[in-house]
Amino acid sequence: MTDPQEKLSRPPQDPSPAATVEAILFTSDSPLSAVRIAEIAELHSERAVKEAVAALNARYERDGAAFRIEALAGGYQMLTRPEFHDCVARLLRDRGDSRLSQAAMETLAIVAYRQPILRADVEAIRGVACGEVLRGLLERQLIKIVGRAKVIGRPMLYGTTRRFLEVFGLESLEDLPKVEELRTGAPPARPEPVEGRPELVEGAPAPPLAPTGPAPATGAPTSAQGRPPG
């Protein structure tokens, strides 16, 4: 039998790259890029990070873990699996203030699908004033000012943020549902890239608008720390 005192006297072993990456992602409450993880873990390349993530996910899958590492908002984050969404949501049901109103969801959908977009264009689409709603979305860091239009008065242009991707579980804007799918209920397909407009010129044609906002689906992942990504 091994002497407990002998075990305590042994020098600690250096953790494996996978264990180091696991500790970093377990601690972080927001996605981290492969470059940042490699820097913190003192790994030699992004490839080493990706290999560590793949090894960890294989182990989680084999062990039936309640969480896995997902590619999210240009980085990686440890998230609980979708099937545990309901029980985690019950734990966090008192966080009702984190929910977006219908007006906020509609406004956010317009910005997401038509960005960069003017406040006047958002209000023209919704048919109501949107100043307060836009300010609320700015405070929640779901949208940001991305520039100014090249028209008289140089009004501000709005677009979505990285936080928007985190909250709705998207790796990039390419993962937004296609407008055709939202209208017809067609099976999901890999969406076409959302083309960004570097500038807005008065009278320029705009892409079609989605009738509903991008809302988290039932079973959306929540963070490993027990917090929903929003």
Q: Where are the domains of the chain?
A: 15-80, 97-223
Q: Cα Rg for the chain, rounded, in angstroms? A: 22
What confidence tens digit (pLDDT) does each residue in 28-62 have?
A: 988 999 999 999 999 989 999 999 999 999 999 99
Number of neighbours of residue 94 by Cβ within 10 angstroms? 6
- Please determine whether the domains at 15-80 and 97-223 fall in the same fold group of CATH: yes
pLDDT at position 107 over 60: yes
Q: What is the pLDDT of residues 160-189, one digit of tens each?
A: 999 999 888 888 999 898 877 666 655 544
Beta strand residue intervals within 102-177, DSSP E: 117-118, 143-148, 156-160
pLDDT at 208 over 90: no
Q: Determine the Cα angle at 38 with ends 33 and 41, to 5°.
A: 120
Span 97-223 CATH architecture: Orthogonal Bundle (1.10)
Question: What topology does CATH give the domain 15-80?
Answer: Arc Repressor Mutant, subunit A (1.10.10)
What is the residue-averaged pLDDT of the chain?
78
Confidence of residue 7 (pLDDT cuts 50, 70, 90): low
- Roughly what angle, to the nearest 10 degrees, separates helices 131-139 and 102-114? 80
Q: How confident is the model at residue 204 (pLDDT cuts 50, 70, 90)?
A: very low
CA nearest to 167, candidates 119, 131, 213, 113: 213
Q: Report the DSSP beta bridge partners of residue 147.
A: 157
Q: For residues 216 and 227, what is the distance between their CA atoms, to the nearest angstrom?
A: 14
